[in-house]
Structure 1
Amino acid sequence: MFSYRILKIVVRRPTVFSRYKSSLGLWNHDITTNIKLDIEKYWAKEILCNKIGNKDTYYVLPMFPYPSGNLHMGHVRVYSISDTIARFQELEGKNVIHPIGWDAFGLPAENAAIERNTLPHIWTDTNISAMKEQLVQLGFKFDWNREISTCDPKYYKWTQYIFLKLFENGLAYQCKAKVNWDPIDQTVLADEQVDDSGCSWRSGVKVEEKILTQWFIKTTKYAKHLYEGLNSKSLDNWKDIINLQKHWIGECNGVVVNFHMNVSNKQRGFDVWSPDPYKFIHGQCIIMKKDNIIIKDMTLDDIQNLRCFNSITKREMLVFVADNINYPEGRDVYIACPSIDSEDYKLCLSLNIPIAKTNDKIVDKISENERAIDLAQKNNCGGYFVSSKLKDWLISRQRFWGTPIPIIHCPNCGIVPVPYEDLPVVLPEISTQETRVSKLTSFKSWQNCKCPKCSSDATRESDTMDTFVDSSWYYYRFLDPNNDKKPFDKEKLMGVTPVNCYIGGKEHAVLHLYYTRFMSYFLHSLGLTPTQEPFKKLLVQGMIMGQSYKTKNTGKYLPPENVEKIGNEYKERETGEPVLVQWEKMSKSKYNGENPERLLSTYGCDTTRLLILADVPPATSRRWSDTTLPGVLNFQHRLWITIRDFLMHKQNVELSTKNILSEKEFKEYENKLWNSRNYFIATATYHFKYTHKLSVGISRLQSLTNVLRNNIPPQIIANSKEYEKSLASLIIMLSIITPHFGCELWAGMRSAPNRICDNADGIDWNQEVVQQRWPIVDESYPLSLQCKVDGADRCDLKIEANKLNSLDLDRVLQIVIEEKGVAERIKHGILRTKYELYPNCRAILHIFTNRKAKNKLQLEKEKETFSSQA
């Protein structure tokens, strides 16, 4: 342990007026939690100051939270990630948009309010206030001027507006359907909200099947566009999310057409899917499952005389009922064309379905497929490609706390949209005596209204919208949050969308992302947005996992204090029963959660942020444990004493007058520091900017700290420009993760006498660290040009930064093919290339050869030979 009591450090404060604050001047003390908390309080305002950029706008957006009352560790992680990226982009000179809001409607708030005998809006507002305070306490630099809340009528007015646009375009419709009913939450759930065990995503109870009239959004009409859009080069770093989305949408290898059937003197519609559209013209019968919703309650006589109306041919078709055929996945209707399809011919024979005689003319299936699709689209009855398994989005929810669906039901006019000028349809006010009310049907005075068309007595729609509707377009509203004329102004989106970096949990990478992409495509089709895709880059974070304990026999979860470790086994303290230990998603019910408040009060927000980012990259699940804390605390301690040493040696007059080191030795240290500074700036920038592996970027900062602390003579610390520039660069880069701590370190460094660096070195001592420019490598520093041939590393060349930044693909190719390791591998010819330039960081050239293609072809031939022999 070093002692610094001999030389007292004098913090010299500037004698002239300046725009910056001095440090707290506590460098003689070892860093403690109390000092960290004092630092955070002292610099709280400065770290939130805006830095006006002179470059393009950068839109970084974390998924907005549900206001549950307190932040959990998942919140801390996602907003630590987004804040770090936002601060990095700001130091790079971008005009950063980093907004926050509240996904405030939904069952959790309503149920919690009922349990606490309070009102949903009061419960929600209280939680928003509490969570907002915590977000500010953590030092997250959000643009609070853009704050929105989905339960605010000023917001959901425009959700209703968008619904009406969907309705106008035939994409919002109401029909009877088999639905998943949650008996606990008393509402329906979309198929996507039921897990593989048939349980509700929310309550965990087994869902029940019911037949109800519900509202749907015809997302399937956009299925092929959404599927093909995943191949767009504009999507950056989506990686496995593309596969998740494609799997969910399914291959769009069939067409849907809406048919009609007369049931109890009412026209009922149903969809027919087929991979062979020509069947919609030449098909002879429809086959249905017995439990199809349209025929489920029919008598035997009714079933024997079924007919339906083909919307394309305008003719009736016979309908037969059978369960023992192979229906397309997710479908219970099949259209058969025995006159053309031999398999359909066999099917009809097996089911004793009479086969009508035809003129036996040969049908051109390709042209007839096109004709069927064209007719369906002209008749507005379908004709769009979709997978057989994908269903439309069920948005009805039978609960109070949600966006009212802006529809009026009239006995004369039927379904009537609420006029745009009457929006928003506001939720009725609840009295304190009505805190347990959970449905809009309870408010008759609100529900009763006049028809906008004929003025007769009518009723409002009593279902509210699924909260996924609210969160399917909020990223556009953030850009124009106060617009009271329309959802947003397209001009405000120009040059800002798609969102540069969208950050959220992997659990939302299917449903939320699918609904969001659909809504963005729809709004673009109306000409309201400049682009189809809502997000350019996706940064999907893994879950925060906690260690849980549950008894082996009963599966009951136990608090950690009720468990003891005996040898290599865990036992329940009271009973001695064996206990299973595992890592699971944090949950109060599993006693494996971590309270951010404890971390904030025990270690401070900067340490908490550093701790949650330092161990693993954002995409990896984080196993939460305090065992990694010593490394983070030691890193901060080393930074603290590095500034202490810097101040001490700068104030030592002897070091500036005596040549303890020779000129050659001094130069060697300078060269070493020059190389280290440039190397760690290049690699840290690469990970903070491009890969977003923040933990790797932090490790580079730790390595640079080690360089500055390992065997550096006092004369170098006091007199070396390279040392000063390296230390300044380190603190600037650190400030995006620990802004308060960075401000104090910077202020300490700034207070030293005889500073060497200035504006020419990219450093402005008159500004706080959060107002500096992100450091870049020197132009003469040799960066890595890596070449991979068929995925394998073949050479790694060093080229000066200023030259590498200007190289194009052709020149790079010329350079690398002269390397022996590359030349030998491209003898079979180059199939294609891909060049990745990361300015001031590195470059990678990927070469794919004909040899790889030939090997693949040879492998396929071998498989064919093996199959024929078998």
Structure 2
Amino acid sequence: MFPYPSGNLHMGHVRVYSISDAIARIQRLNGANVVHPIGWDAFGLPAENAAIERNIPPPQWTETNIKSMKDQLHQLGFGFNWNKEISTCDPKYYKWTQYIFLKLFEKGLAYQSKAQVNWDPVDKTVLADEQVDELGCSWRSGAKVEKKYLTQWFIKTTKYAKKLFDGLSSEHLDNWKDIINLQKHWIGECSGIVVTFRIKINGDTKPLDVWTSDPYKYVHGQFLTLSTNHILLHNIDLSDNVITAYNPITKSEIPVYITDNVTYPEGRDVYIACPALSQEDDLIAHSLNIPVTDQKRINIDNENRSAIDAAISEHIGGYFVSSKLKDWLISRQRYWGTPIPIIYCKNCGTVPVPYEDLPVTLPKMDKETGIQTLENVSYWVNCKCPKCHSKAKRETDTMDTFVDSSWYYYRFLDSDNERKPFDKEKLLDCTPVNIYIGGKEHAVLHLYYARFMSYFLHSLGWTYTEEPFRKLVVQGMVMGQSYKVKSSGKYIPAENVDKIGKEYKEKNTGETVVVQWEKMSKSKYNGENPKRLLQAYGCDTTRLLMLADVPPATPRRWSDATLPGVLNWQHRLWMTVREFIKHRNNADNLKPVDQTILEQCNEKIWNARNYFTATTTYHFKYTHKLSVGISRLQSLTSTLRNNVPPEVLARSKEFELALAALIIMLSPVTPHFCLELWAGFLSAPNRISENTHLINWQENVLHQQWPIVDNHYELSVLCKVDGADRCDLKIKASELKHLHYEKALQLMLEEKPVQQRITHGILRTKYECYPDCRAILNIFTKRSQKPEEVRNVG
């Protein structure tokens, strides 16, 4: 996920891009064609607010921040494809965001509607439902949101709800884990459909979306009810109004009643009733003194299908969605965002900006008065209608920044295209994104919007797949230790705290201080500046420190306490190469090697090289638990330093191969450090493995092949029954490559520990084979299934 240009990297940036850089380098060493791009999510409220505070135009502020952060990324040595760099505030980029908006508008998926919206009183703009937390506060400013009634632009994401929900069960999604449940919960069970009626109030006709889980009611429904809180009733005097609605399925009018004495579907305040066919609706009719028309018996399933087909064919709805899911509100009442390419004309109404007139660029900010909303800029707002050429006005709302970031991953692959957002051919063999790395906090924000946009672009025939991302690596936050005065909740710096026994006290007042781990923040005085680490230890140690100890998905509690271990390991590696060079240079002066000792050492080192190569590869390449892979390399280092006599070190081919493998496998994490180690390794004379295909002696470490285990080394084939390890067979690496599911299952079913656990029969199996690493066969028995699952076994 690309960064917002705040001006300075924080430790969260260091962590996520250390992870991505390591994975990219691992894949390159494994022969993959890797695109490791970078860009800037550059529009938005924080930049605009910061620029206004400093009396600096937002473009200038953003450009300065990008330059600063880019310099810092270079200092960390990340191997990004800088030739593909994009910035969402660049007209060359947001031209195509506007282009996609117009495509949504053409398809009826971008529309304007009056709605009760979430208003952020601090940032002075509206927020989508997804941007308000469970406490009713803004995701960005933290302010308590207010409710307002405004006409806003929406994108009809609900039309894709069922597809997006079902897509989360796709076998092509790898490692999404609880993100799947979070998105499914947000979308909700798509158990009903929506049809757009037309409602008459005060002589005006307005669209009214009606949701029901019983589609037959669109054909046989006799009346609608609206809650008194319905948006269409805002500021309406109901005493003299007779309200009716036009049903587009039956092409007839039905009455509308206003009442709160109806159990409305979750998230809805309109209900369609069919009292002749529903006992519940009959009770509603009686409570409202509504006469009920008799109805002949019908085939509910046929009528449901008929209603759905009619709605779809008439383009008035018919799509499945949960009752609670709302469309995506994208209007923002601020300057620093992508202008919505719409023009309002008194004669022609709402007119899209012609494609050839894109981009609609932002006006320059006035340094003297500043621009907080586009409606202040008369020379920009006033324009000519593209249709009739009469006086008209531009839309003054800008787009939610999540629109910009909903499609950027495709632009990376064709960043210089001036004819269209991207060519489909450029996506071939590169999409969906193989590995997507970012924070869990975007589970129902960015990831939801990006999935919707990808599905929409696929419907236009622009992409090869609906899902944009195959594998997720969700990184945990970097946490810092914070100190908060218990009585006031005020955060104070660590230097203002004394530890007295097991308690913490504020130095000046003696008040009790609460110590806890929280997300790093300047306001909490618990941040760590990457600049200090870079100046003191260099980029490789900083990256190694960030990746060691805990896997990417686990929150990282920041502490300097892990530094000595990392520095000590680097020192031991440095000494290992120094000693290797020394003893190779001095081989003729060392005592003759004892063949028995040489064979024993070679066997130990051979086993260690293969075992740690297999396990490091598994965690680096497949599970992405980089910290576990790093610990395997530390263990291999210990093997090479423990009880290997100088005369063996000077003459052992196995030591040479193992040391080479160690440096190569560490290079994705500490590339510069390993370049130095490799230079020393190559300088040693008397190369025993000169003719091996495993090492390219003419290239540096970054251009080597990833080490592989020897063909006759035995690798693990593990069988798990209902999640518990039951059998672990050993198979030669050369045979594991060709071990298919059927053969693996046959082998395991012959083993007694497995036979004893599947007496109730096999429910399902899952086989994973990782060449040169291991294989895992998971067997789930009927004993493990829940009672309600029994009916679903076919």
TM-score, normalisation: structure 2: 0.98
* Corresponding residue for residue 841 of structure 1: 773
- Distance in 2 of aligned mates of 1:653 and 1:660: 10
**1:456 aligned partner, one-letter code:** S
Match of 1:659 in 2: 592
Shift of 1:712: 1.2
User: What is the SS of the residue equivalent to 1:774?
Assistant: coil
Residue 650 of structure 1, CA deviation:
1.2
Tell me by how many angstroms 1:655 deviates. 5.3
Q: Distance in 2 between matches of 1:823 and 1:183?
A: 65
CA contact 1:670–1:722 (8 Å) conserved in 2? yes
2:768 touches 2:776 (CA, 8 Å); kept in 1?
A: yes
Specify the alignment match of 1:41 in structure 2. none
Report what 1:88 is aligned to: 26
Distance in 1 (CA, whole Å) between partners of 2:162 and 2:715 is 43
Cα deviation, residue 860, structure 1 = 8.5
Does residue 796 (structure 1) correspond to residue 731 (structure 2)? The answer is no
Displacement of 1:859 after TM fit?
A: 10
Contact 1:285/1:335 (<8 A) preserved: yes
SS in structure 2 of the partner of residue 301 of structure 1: coil
Query: 1:294: Cα distance to partner?
Result: 0.5
How far apart, CA to CA, are the structure 2 residues paired with 1:653 and 1:103? 58
Rounded Cα–Cα distance in structure 2 between residues aligned with 1:446 and 1:743: 55
Higher mean C-alpha deviation, range 796-805 or range 279-288: 279-288
Q: Do structure 1's residue 136 and structure 2's residue 71 form an aligned pair?
A: no
Deviations 1:46-69 (A, max 9, x none): xxxxxxxxxxxxxxxxx1100000
1:259 alignment counterpart? 197
The CA deviation at 1:263 is 2.9
Residue 372 (structure 1) aligned with residue 310 (structure 2): no
Q: How does 1:322-721 map to 2 (within 5 A)?
A: 322-350=259-287, 352-358=288-294, 360-434=295-369, 436-654=370-588, 658-661=591-594, 663-721=595-653
Separation in 1 of the partners of 2:174 and 2:511? 51
From 680, 683, 704, the equivalent of 1:748 is 680
Does the alignment pair 1:145 with 2:83? yes
Cα distance in 2 between the residues matched to 1:136 and 1:422: 37
Deviation at 1:468, TM superposition (A): 0.2
Q: Output the amino acid matched with 1:312.
A: I
Give the superposition deviation at 1:344: 1.1
Q: Deviations over 1:578-636 (max 9, x none)?
A: 00011111111111111010111111110000000001110111111111111111111
Task: Kindly state the Cα deviation for residue 347 of structure 1 after the two structures are TM-superposed.
Answer: 2.2
How far 1:355 moved relative to its partner? 2.6
Q: Distance in 2 between matches of 1:759 and 1:67?
A: 49
The correspondence of residues 62-77 of structure 1 with structure 2, limited to 5 A, is: 63-77=1-15
Name the stretch that deviates more: 801-810 or 477-486: 801-810
* Cα displacement (A) at 1:320: 1.2
Amino acid at match of 1:420: Y
3-state DSSP of counterpart to 2:250: coil
In structure 2, the partner of 1:210 is 148
Contact 2:285-2:292 within 8 A present in 1 as well:
no
Cα offset, 1:206, TM superposition: 1.4
Query: Deviation digits for residues 7-61 of structure 1, max 9, x if unmatched?
Result: xxxxxxxxxxxxxxxxxxxxxxxxxxxxxxxxxxxxxxxxxxxxxxxxxxxxxxx
**Segments ≥4 residues shifted beyond 3 Å:** 653-656, 850-853, 856-861
Task: Name the amino acid aligned to 1:353.
Answer: N
Is the 1:177–1:293 contact (alpha carbons within 8 Å) kept by the matching residues of 2? yes
CA distance in 1, matches of 2:589, 2:576: 17
Q: Name the amino acid aligned to 1:321.
A: I
CA contact (8 A) 1:758 1:764 kept: no
State whether residues 682 and 840 of structure 1, in contact with CA within 8 Å, keep that contact through their aligned partners in structure 2. Answer: yes
Tell me whether 1:226 sits opposite 2:155 in the alignment: no
Q: Partner of 2:663 in structure 1?
A: 731
1:787 matched to 2:719? The reply is: yes
Q: Which residue of 1 aligns with 2:692?
A: 760
Q: Which residue of 1 aligns with 2:753?
A: 821
Q: Classify 1:630/1:489 alpha carbon distance in 2 versus 1 (closer, same or farther; 3 Å).
A: same
Q: Any unmatched runs of 5+ in structure 1?
A: 1-62, 862-870
Distance in 2 of aligned mates of 1:302 and 1:579: 63
Q: Which amino acid aligns with 2:289?
A: I
Secondary structure of the structure 1 residue equivalent to 2:267:
coil
Shift of 1:346: 1.4
Distance 1:187 1:822 in 2: 61
323-332 or 605-614, larger mean C-alpha shift: 323-332
CA shift, 1:832, in A, is 2.6
Matches for 1:54-133 after TM superposition, within 5 Å? 63-133=1-71
Q: Which residue of 295, 309, 312 maps to 2:249?
A: 312
Q: Which residue of 2 aligns with 1:31?
A: none
Give the 3-state SS of the residue equivalent to 1:96 in structure 2: coil
Unpaired segments ≥5 residues, structure 2? none
Residue 704 (structure 2) aligns with: 772
SS in 2 for 1:636: helix
Alignment partner, residue 40 of structure 1: none
Same amino acid, percent of matched pairs? 67
Deviation at 1:637, TM superposition (A): 0.9
| Bigger relative CO (Cα 8 Å, ≥ 6 apart) | 1
Q: In 2 relative to 1, CA 807–653 (structure 1 residues): closer, same or farther, beyond 3 Å?
A: closer
Task: Work out whether residues 835 and 845 of structure 1, in 8 Å CA contact, stay in contact via their aligned partners in 2.
Answer: yes
Q: CA deviation at 1:759?
A: 4.8
1:264 Cα shift? 3.5
| Deviations, residues 80-116 of structure 1 (Å, cap 9, x unaligned) | 0000000000001111100101000010110000001
Structure 1: distance between partners of 2:130 and 2:760: 49
Once the two structures are TM-superposed, the CA of residue 317 in structure 1 deviates from its matched residue by 1.4
| 1:758 to partner: Cα distance | 2.8
Offset, 1:308: 1.4
Which whole-Å CA distance do the structure 1 matches of 2:239 and 2:8 have between them?
A: 60
Q: How far apart are the structure 2 equivalents of 1:832 and 1:402?
A: 50
Q: Which residue is 1:170 aligned to? A: 108
**1:148-181, Cα deviation, whole Å (9 max, x unpaired):** 0000000000000000000000000001010111
Moved more, 389-398 or 830-839: 830-839
Answer whether contact 1:655 1:715 (CA < 8 A) is retained: no
- In 1, Cα distance between equivalents of 2:587 and 2:617: 36
Q: C-alpha deviations, 1:494-525, integer Å up to 9, x for none?
A: 11100000001111122100000000000000
1:205 Cα deviation from its structure 2 partner:
1.4
1:597 corresponds to which letter in structure 2?
K
CA RMSD of aligned residues (A): 1.4
